[in-house]
Chains A and B, each alone.
Chain A
């Protein structure tokens, strides 16, 4: 069975500081991996995805993530956080069939 762990429930960073959100997955084959963002009162929006190929993927809003098969990880990074990045972030692992499993989310607070 596939599963996703986001070890950090809540992270606080200062505006302009770098950010890394952790995601570990369990899946029996090559996974499809996703990061979604949910701003307050908004729906979920896809930030980036990994299907195959280059293990460093770029997404929207200046985010990137790196797939590390040896560590079963797909951590999300951003070099300089903006106040508008405050939101909840969800990592997901998906099967080729389409069904995905989501982590419990990490809430990001940005200090001015």
Chain B
């Protein structure tokens, strides 16, 4: 597609439920990133995929968070047993660093509300 897309745009869930957030990166981009942005806060790095390399999971806040990227394209961020503190906007970005084009292109985000 023309840009990074994310779905759903909004998700309201109950505490303890699992949620899946989807990211479709720009076609051909080898790198994919997930960030979390809490209200009024900066971007918190969660996880980074680059090509076929093992993902950098150093930013995942707990083992309730996981992500996968299938076929080097679409990625799903899964949050198990959601907590109220998980409420935030989850941003996905993609880039093409192997061509020296490290700028990240961001999707519109998924706003997650945990009741």
Top 5 A-B residue pairs of the complex, sorted by shortest distance between their CB atoms: A98-B97, A104-B42, A44-B106, A102-B43, A98-B31
**Chain A residues numbered 30-48 whose CB sits less than 8 Å from any CB in chain B:** 32, 34, 36, 42-46
Chain A residues lying within 8 Å of B102, measured Cβ to Cβ, are 32, 34, 49, 51, 94-96, 98, 100
Number of A-B contacts (CB under 8 A): 58
Cα distance A43–B89 in the bound complex, in angstroms: 10
Question: Is B42 in contact with A90, judged by CB distance below 8 angstroms?
Answer: yes
Tell yes or no: B1 within 8 A of A by CB.
no
Tell yes or no: B18 within 8 A of A by CB.
no
**Which range holds the interface residue count of chain B?**
20 to 34
Question: Is B41 in contact with A104, judged by CB distance below 8 angstroms?
Answer: yes
Tell yes or no: B108 within 8 A of A by CB.
yes
Tell yes or no: B107 within 8 A of A by CB.
yes
Question: Is B97 in contact with A49, judged by CB distance below 8 angstroms?
Answer: no
Chain B residues lying within 8 Å of A70, measured Cβ to Cβ, are none
**Which residue among B31, B93, B103 has the maximum number of chain A CB atoms within 10 Å of its CB?**
B103
Cα distance A46–B107 in the bound complex, in angstroms: 12
Tell yes or no: B75 within 8 A of A by CB.
no
Report B4 CB to chain A, min CB distance, Å.
8
1/0 per residue, CB under 8 A from B, across A91-112: the answer is 0001111111111110000000
Chain B residues lying within 8 Å of A102, measured Cβ to Cβ, are 35, 42-43, 45
Cα distance A42–B106 in the bound complex, in angstroms: 10
1/0 per residue, CB under 8 A from A, across B81-110: the answer is 000000000010101010010111111110
Chain B residues lying within 8 Å of A101, measured Cβ to Cβ, are 45
Cα distance A30–B43 in the bound complex, in angstroms: 23
Question: Is B56 in contact with A99, judged by CB distance below 8 angstroms?
Answer: yes
Cα distance A90–B102 in the bound complex, in angstroms: 16
Cα distance A43–B91 in the bound complex, in angstroms: 8
1/0 per residue, CB under 8 A from A, across B26-47: the answer is 0000010101000001110100
